[in-house]
Chains A and B, each alone.
Chain A
């Protein structure tokens, strides 16, 4: 075993890369859950985004178009969930599961011809001046544009939820949909929009994996990241900044275990590969003591007659 093979600067830089898909999916799901909807289909939307983005990027040669297609793919799939839960008033847990199973199936079907293909390279965007800072510059300011976008999205979601009228309405719908309805807000419309935003974010997160992090297409390649993103929202007590913190933590665990695998650490590969899931469970146990910050209407169906 050779610990010196692990370079801390590269490790931290790849931590950010590993954290980005998680951050994107989790911040989207945070908005959905803030509006009072529990969408368990994150994994399905991510994998659909991953293949939509990959297919379009390979066919057009433009990774940016791929990202756009991924966001749209995720949003369209989430619309199915929205129709089921908001109009047909189906159980949200079951509908989310259905979305994941459906997404895994449709992505496998769409991805048939793309096994083994290579995605067009994604350009790195060094931020001028800042990226020249030794070590820190390489870790934080020498990434692709999606990393910065994910960070700005977190900032944006935090600002909107905390300081704007739109954010207030969204939170009102999530805390008490009957009261929000009585005040004249369109509960269903707001929730559908939130669900689609979450779908687009999850799709982007998926495409980040298939276009930038791996960059290849394999069936079921998201391997539970969507579910970890769901756990992350609980971990973060529905607060955007803590989602960022959590994403970095999980990204770090994942990168560390991959590096330990590569360095030939004395623990067998399979047990190292378990660690992100085990740590997710551990974190869930620690955080589940505090349930006060969950939106009060989370997971409940709304119908104007009730």
Chain B
């Protein structure tokens, strides 16, 4: 009979080991899934995790790692602040979309003016757009106690409809022969989020993601506000006695995560994606939730987890074209990862004891 025994303190060792264990378990279960789909499991796993980095075409895939990883890390860093304090912003996808609309809107309004300050202004507009979108659930929670999970998620659907309306209406390319979608920002030098070093995949979004990691690390470890965030998550009662004001914390966490998600959207729309289109929303906002948990809500962990998740995106695309693996299999693979992660997390907080006979609990 298996019995769980609560540890007096979460195990340090298992805190680091569980994400690795979860990834391994996902590989095994994923391999079984791929075998079930009639693909060679070893080849599939190798294609997803090895080929993007070390195959002969890796020079083409490695830059993609930064392009896909940057928005994931940027969004996940913001989400992790709230998750630590028990504030659940799961509408990052909506904030990402609104940030992109606001940022691109600034550029499209000023087209075809060329100015050095245009791109910074777009970044600010994107961050503000995302922040304001996240402020809706934040203010409703502070003022009326409304559940932020449901409100932030509902706003994703609202944002998707807003995006569709923008792509065929206000932001539509007047020279686009009636096709939906805005002007391509890649052809607008002042607004283009170009690669900083050609062929490296390094664009301003990657820089912003790295800065966000450092900022979050300093905030959580060296600043009173970060201490309050951690305290609220770990001991809400103690936090109240320590004078933490929950309302301020909610506004800060949701606002920051919204701003970061909005920035991620702006960097995407002005760079890799190029235009506001109906299919702009790519699910980064939801995958970032997995990244945040996989990185154990720790900035450095999130950086690593973002890289790993970007790898599954790229490897998934390779597997799709080379092995004919359906794209939904990769989606399922990512979902499985979160499941295993939550399941093995029990080892961090509990000891597993084997007892000979059933005891009276």
Contact = CB atoms under 8 A, between A and B. Distances in A.
Q: Report if A and B associate in a common complex.
A: yes
A224 interface: yes
B160 to A, nearest CB: 9
B336 A97 contact: no
The DSSP consensus for interface residues of chain B is helix
From B169, B286, B293, B332, name the one whose CB has the most chain A CB atoms within 10 angstroms: B332
Interface in A194-231: 219, 223-224, 227-228, 230-231
Contacts of B88: 93
Interface stretch (A101-109, A142-150, A163-171): A101-109
B227 interface: no
A227 B162 contact: no
A284 interface: yes
A102 B146 contact: no
Interface string B346-361: 1001100000000001
A224 B165 contact: no
Nearest to B289: A97
A278 interface: yes
The DSSP consensus for interface residues of chain A is helix
A23 interface: no
Given A281-B140, A281-B151, A284-B146, A84 B343 contact: yes
Contact of A104 (B136, B146, B335, B349): B335
A101 B286 contact: yes
Given A83-B343, A84-B343, A303-B4, A234 B147 contact: yes
B28 interface: no
Contacts of B149: 40, 93
B90 A97 contact: yes
Contacts of B161: 270-271, 273-274
B335 A305 contact: no
Contact of B339 (A80, A108, A227): A80
B151 A289 contact: no
A98 B146 contact: no
Nearest to B345: A90
**B interface residue count range (under 10 / 10 to 19 / 20 to 34 / 35 or more):** 35 or more
Interface string B171-202: 00000000000000000000000000000000
B293 A94 contact: yes
B329 to A, nearest CB: 6
A105 B6 contact: no
B80 interface: no
From A97, A106, A223, name the one whose CB has the most chain B CB atoms within 10 angstroms: A97
Contacts of B151: 281, 284
From A101, A102, A104, A284, name the one whose CB has the most chain B CB atoms within 10 angstroms: A101
A224 B154 contact: yes
B290 interface: yes
A274 B162 contact: yes
Given A97-B289, A224-B154, A291-B145, A88 B331 contact: no
A277 B154 contact: yes
Contacts of B146: 281, 284-285, 288
B339 A84 contact: yes
Contacts of A291: 145
B338 A98 contact: yes
A297 interface: no
Interface in A262-306: 268, 270-271, 273-274, 277-278, 280-281, 284-285, 288-289, 291, 303-306
A118 B33 CA distance: 27
Interface in B137-158: 140, 144-147, 149-151, 153-155, 157-158
Given A102-B332, A268-B165, A306-B6, 6 more contacts: A105-B329, A108-B327, A109-B331, A112-B328, A277-B158, A278-B154
14 contacts: A90-B343, A90-B345, A102-B332, A105-B334, A108-B331, A109-B329, A112-B326, A224-B153, A227-B150, A270-B161, A270-B165, A288-B145, A288-B146, A303-B4
